[in-house]
Amino acid sequence: MTIIEEVSVPSPRDGDGGPLLEVRDLHVEFHTREGVVKAVNGVNYSVAAGETLAVLGESGSGKSVTAQAIMGILDMPPAKIPQGEIRFRGEDMLRMSGEDRRKIRGRRIAMIFQDALSSLNPVLSVGYQLGEMFRVHHGMSKKDAKAKAIELMDRVKIPAAAARVNDYPHQFSGGMRQRIMIAMALALEPELIIADEPTTALDVTVQAQVMDLLADLQREYNMGLILITHDLGVVADVADKIAVMYAGRIVETAPVHELYKRPAHPYTRGLLDSIPRLDQKGQELYAIKGLPPNLLRIPTGCAFNPRCPKAQDICRTDIPPLLPVTEQDGAELPGRASACHFWKETLHG
Partner 1 sequence: MPDVTKTVPEAAAEDAAVAAAGGTLPEPKPEKTRSLWGDAWQDLRRSWIFIVSAGLILLLLTITFFPGWFTGADPTHGDLAKHFLQKPKMGKFFDPDWLGYDQQGRSVYARVIYGARASIAVGFGTTMAVTLVGGLVGMIAGYFGGLVDSILSRLTDVFFGIPFLLGTMVVLNSFQDRTTWVVIGALSFFGWTQIARVMRGAVITTKQADYVHAAQALGASTPRILFRHILPNTLAPVIVVATISLGVYISAEATLSYLGLGLNGVSWGNDISDGGNQIRVAQWIMLYPSIMLIITVLAFIMLGEAVRNALDPKMR
Partner 2 sequence: MGRYVARRLLQMIPVFLGTTLLIFLMVYALPGDPVRGLFGDKGGSPQVIAQLRHQYGLDQPIWMQYWHYMKNMILHADFGTQIASGRPVTDVLGDAFPVTLRLAALAFIIEMVFGIALGIVAGLRAGRLTDNAILLFTLLLISVPVFVLGYILKVIFAFDLNWLPPNVNDSTNVNELLMPAIVLATASLAYVTRLTRTSIAENLRADYIRTAIAKGLPRRRVVGVHLMRNSLIPVVTYLGTDIGALMGGAVVTEGLFNIQGIGGTIAQSIVRREGTTLVGLVTILVLVYLLANLLVDLLYAVLDPRIRYA
Binding site for partner 1 (CB under 8 A): 30, 32, 34, 37, 39, 59-60, 64-65, 68, 74-75, 78-79, 114-115, 117-118, 201, 289-297, 299-300, 306-307, 316
Q: List the interface residues with partner 2, window 55-94 (CB under 8 A).
A: 71, 73
131 binds partner 2 (CB under 8 A): no
Tell me how far, at minimum, the Cβ of 269 lies from partner 2, in Å: 34
Looking at beta carbons only, is 9 or 181 nearer to partner 2?
A: 181
Looking at beta carbons only, is 280 or 294 nearer to partner 1?
A: 294
Q: Percent helix, strand and coil across the chain, each rounded to 5?
A: 35, 20, 40
For residue 138, how many other CB atoms are within 10 A of its CB?
13
Among candidate residues 18, 92, 341, the one with its CA nearest the CA of residue 8: 18
- Residue 290: which of partner 1, partner 2, none does it interact with, CB under 5 to 8 A by kind? partner 1
Contact with partner 2 (CB under 8 A): which of 124, 275, 285, 314?
A: 124
- Residue 246: which of partner 2, partner 1, none does it interact with, CB under 5 to 8 A by kind? none
* Residue partners of 5: CB distance under 8 A and separation at least 6: none
State the DSSP string of 298-331: PPSSSTTGGG-TT--HHHHH-PPP-EEEE-TTS-
Give the CA radius of gyration of the chain: 21
Among candidate residues 277, 336, 271, the one with its CA nearest the CA of residue 308: 271
The CA distance from 20 to 50, in Å, is 9
Tell me how far, at minimum, the Cβ of 347 lies from partner 2, in Å: 38
- Residue 59: which of partner 2, partner 1, none does it interact with, CB under 5 to 8 A by kind? partner 1
- Residue 141: which of partner 1, partner 2, none does it interact with, CB under 5 to 8 A by kind? none
Contact 17, 191 (CB under 8 A): no
Q: Which residues bind partner 2 (CB under 8 A)?
A: 71, 73, 102-107, 110-111, 113, 115, 118-125, 132-133, 136-137, 168, 170, 184
